[in-house]
Amino acid sequence: MAGGMGVSMVAMMVPTAVPFFLAYGRDTRRPVAIATVVLIYVAVWAAIGLGIDYLMSQVMMPSSLLIVGIAIVIALMYAVTPWGRWAREHCRKMSMREPRRTRFRDAMVEGASYAACCVVCSAGVMLVVIVLGMSNPLVIFAGAAVILAYKLIPWPAPALSRSR
């Protein structure tokens, strides 16, 4: 099914952005700005899904518990990298109440910024979801739940990153 992965990706990722969409809507109160932010987010994840769909059609990935285990280890390691922590904190910060500009250009910048941050934030979890299979609705639902929790629940800083 052409585009199936794009639809699955959007279906999984849009619910994880609802806190940001609500905060943005509450702060701007401009329907065009809100729609712009949502459409940019959807377009980014649809494009990623289509790209993954194309790559998956070119490569046959064997399924095994070893590969799933490796993907989970990579996702956990990625979660504690400075890049992963920065993106997670930025996603959380953008979902809070803050002054926002209401021009169309500002909505485009906010939408692109949040979408990019979300891509970086959820890259590790996304790897596991792709390995497990994006065609399974339970995997999509579980992936969305994990990514939403990942974005919203504060994580403690790793012991190595704390200043002495």
Its pTM stands at 0.84
User: Which segment of 82-86, 99-103, 134-138 scores lowest on mean pLDDT?
Assistant: 99-103
With respect to residue 164, please indicate whether it lies within any of the assigned structural domains: no
Q: What is the pLDDT of residue 16?
A: 92
- Structural domain boundaries, residue 23: 4-156
With respect to residue 20, please indicate whether it lies within any of the assigned structural domains: yes
With respect to residue 29, please indicate whether it lies within any of the assigned structural domains: yes
Q: Inform me whether the pLDDT recorded for 1 exceeds 60.
A: no
Cβ atoms of 14 and 45 within 8 Å: the answer is yes
Q: What is the arithmetic mean of pLDDT over 28-52?
A: 93
With respect to residue 24, please indicate whether it lies within any of the assigned structural domains: yes
Per-residue pLDDT tens for 2-21?
Answer: 578 889 899 999 999 999 99
Question: Which contacts (CB < 8 Å, 24+ apart) does range 81-89 have?
Answer: 82/161, 83/120, 84/120, 84/121, 84/123, 84/124, 85/155, 85/157, 85/161, 86/120, 87/117, 87/118, 87/120, 87/121, 88/121, 88/150, 88/151, 88/155
With respect to residue 163, please indicate whether it lies within any of the assigned structural domains: no
With respect to residue 40, please indicate whether it lies within any of the assigned structural domains: yes
With respect to residue 161, please indicate whether it lies within any of the assigned structural domains: no
Q: Inform me whether the pLDDT recorded for 65 exceeds 90.
A: no
For the chain, the average pLDDT equals 86
Per-residue pLDDT tens for 68-79?
Answer: 899 999 999 998
pLDDT-derived band at 164, boundaries 50, 70, 90: very low
* SS3 track for 25-48: HHHHCCHHHHHHHHHHHHHHHHHH
Q: How many domains does the chain have?
A: 1
With respect to residue 32, please indicate whether it lies within any of the assigned structural domains: yes
Per-residue pLDDT tens for 101-119?
Answer: 778 888 899 899 999 999 9
